[in-house]
């Protein structure tokens, strides 16, 4: 499958040079909010026995789910092999696969839940959702999380000021320079939330719910397949 702009951004942003510092960065850059968003995702898939984490990266969400739900089989998939190497050091009982979320190497209806965090803005949403629904069992749960550009005018000013600061810091933290310089534009230009809601609402889903978090800087969609 040929790479598109989203894939190329992900490959440029997440490299062998910054894989080891990703956990620290995501916690620090979100002021600890990443932990809260991850907890919300974990609660959404409580009781699931077969769970797929798409774009698992260094395994933050994957290991969190596995630690909370010790009976679950949690499989992680990511585009970056270097990030999977970091994830593999956290637990030795999580299968990890190198691949794209738009073409999953699984048979139909095998997972109770599919989760993905920070991935939609780098994908063709229609393809991702089609694949997620294909591998989900009937009554399965799909959870989609990513950053959003806030609607509140005051929050927009704060958000832009924060990214301006990151661009200054990028001159010091060189391994994250591309992310600090370009992520804000990727978020502003992304229509992942509207696209996901549109696609999911066009399907015969049991329910689709979107919640906004941290003053509109992130959103979580929870959908249940019939």
Domain range spanning residue 119? 5-225
Give residue 10's Cα distance to chain centre.
12
Tally of structural domains, the chain: 1
Closest CA to 194 of 154, 151, 164: 151
According to the model, what pLDDT value does residue 40 have? 97
Least confident of 3-7, 135-139, 197-201, 204-208: 3-7
Give residue 35's Cα distance to chain centre.
13
- The length of the chain in residues reads 226
Statement: residue 189 has pLDDT above 80? yes
Supply the mean pLDDT for the chain: 96
pLDDT mean over 119-132:
98
Statement: residue 12 has pLDDT above 90? yes
pLDDT mean over 141-168:
98
Statement: residue 121 has pLDDT above 70? yes
Q: Give residue-wise pLDDT tens across range 142-151.
A: 999 999 999 9
According to the model, what pLDDT value does residue 177 have? 97
Please give the structure tokens belonging to residue 4. 């598109």
CATH code for the domain of 212: 3.40.50.150
CB under 8 Å to 112, separation ≥6 — which residues?
A: 45, 48, 49, 50, 51, 136, 137, 140, 141
pLDDT mean over 49-69:
97
According to the model, what pLDDT value does residue 1 have? 63
Statement: residue 85 has pLDDT above 90? yes
According to the model, what pLDDT value does residue 17 have? 96
Q: Helix H segments across the chain?
A: 5-13, 22-29, 33-44, 60-68, 81-87, 125-135, 153-169, 177-189, 192-202
Statement: residue 110 has pLDDT above 90? yes
Statement: residue 2 has pLDDT above 80? no
According to the model, what pLDDT value does residue 3 have? 77
């Amino acid at each position: 499958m040929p790479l598109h702009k989203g894939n190329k951004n992900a490959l440029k942003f997440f490299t062998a040079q910054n894989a080891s510092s990703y956990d620290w960065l995501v916690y620090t850059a979100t002021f600890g909010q990443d932990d809260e968003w991850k907890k919300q995702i974990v609660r959404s898939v409580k009781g699931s026995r077969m769970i797929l984490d798409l774009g698992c990266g260094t395994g933050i969400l994957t290991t969190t789910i596995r630690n909370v739900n010790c009976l679950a089989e949690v499989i992680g998939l990511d585009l970056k092999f270097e990030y999977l190497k970091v994830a593999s050091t956290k637990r030795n009982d999580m299968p990890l696969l190198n691949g794209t979320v738009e073409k999953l190497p699984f048979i139909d209806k095998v997972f109770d839940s599919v989760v993905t965090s920070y991935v939609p803005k780098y994908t063709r949403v229609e393809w991702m959702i089609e694949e997620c629904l294909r591998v989900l069992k009937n009554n399965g749960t799909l959870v989609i999380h990513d950053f959003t550009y806030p609607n509140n005018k005051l929050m927009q000013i704060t958000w832009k000021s924060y990214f301006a600061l990151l661009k200054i810091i990028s001159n010091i933290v060189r391994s994250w320079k591309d992310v600090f310089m370009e992520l804000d534009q990727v978020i502003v230009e992304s229509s992942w939330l509207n696209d996901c809601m549109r696609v999911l609402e066009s399907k015969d889903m049991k329910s689709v719910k979107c919640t906004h978090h941290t003053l509109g800087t992130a959103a979580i969609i929870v959908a249940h397949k019939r």
